[in-house]
C-alpha cells in the first residue's frame, strides 16, 4: 500500500515535484537505486551539502557526467533533489554554476527512515583524497537559497 497518491506527470516538459505533491513511495523507489543512492550519499556528505556534477563525477568514477545528470534529473523529478544555480552575471569562468541539494521533504523522509545519515556520510566524504581542483570547487561559494 502506497503512503501517498502518485504525482501525475504531464506529457509535455519536465515536471518537478513540489513539497505539496511529494510522493514518498516514488521518492524512496528512485532514491534506493544503487547509483542514485551513491550520488545522494555524496550530496549529503559534501561539506556544503550542495555539490556540482564535477564533484559528483570525481566521487563516482564509474559514472559519466551524462549518467550523473540523468540520475540527478530523475531525483529532481520526484522531489528528492533540487538544482540550484548562479544567475548568468554571477557565474565564474571555468567553474561550475549548477549545484544539487537534498530537498527538505526528502531530508525529512530519509531521517524518518534512517537513510543517508549526515554525520556518517560527511565522515566518509572527508576521508576521500581530493585533487586540488576538487578542493577548490568544494570551497567556492554556492547560490543563495
CATH for 38-139, among 3.20.20.140, 1.20.1530.20, 1.10.10.10, 1.25.40.10?
Answer: 1.10.10.10
List, for residues 117-136, the tens digit of each pLDDT value: 999 999 999 999 999 999 99
**Per-domain boundaries in the chain:** 38-139
The pLDDT of residue 138 is above 50 = yes
What is the reported pLDDT for 20? 58
d(CA 5, CA 24): 9
List, for residues 22-47, the tens digit of each pLDDT value: 999 999 999 999 999 999 999 999 99
Share of the chain above pLDDT 90, in %: 84
Amino acid at each position: 500500500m502506497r503512503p501517498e497518491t502518485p504525482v501525475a506527470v504531464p506529457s509535455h516538459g519536465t515536471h518537478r515535484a513540489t513539497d505539496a505533491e511529494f510522493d514518498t513511495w516514488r521518492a524512496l523507489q528512485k532514491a534506493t537505486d544503487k547509483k542514485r543512492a551513491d550520488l545522494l550519499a555524496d550530496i549529503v556528505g559534501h561539506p556544503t551539502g550542495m555539490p556540482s556534477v564535477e564533484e559528483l563525477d570525481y566521487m563516482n568514477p564509474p559514472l559519466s557526467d551524462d549518467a550523473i545528470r540523468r540520475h540527478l534529473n530523475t531525483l529532481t523529478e520526484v522531489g528528492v533533489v533540487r538544482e540550484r544555480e548562479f544567475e548568468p552575471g554571477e557565474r565564474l569562468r571555468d567553474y561550475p554554476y549548477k549545484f544539487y541539494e537534498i530537498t527538505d521533504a526528502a531530508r525529512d523522509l530519509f531521517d524518518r527512515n534512517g537513510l543517508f545519515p549526515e554525520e556518517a556520510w560527511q565522515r566518509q566524504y572527508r576521508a576521500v583524497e581530493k585533487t586540488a581542483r576538487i578542493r577548490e570547487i568544494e570551497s567556492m561559494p554556492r547560490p543563495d537559497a
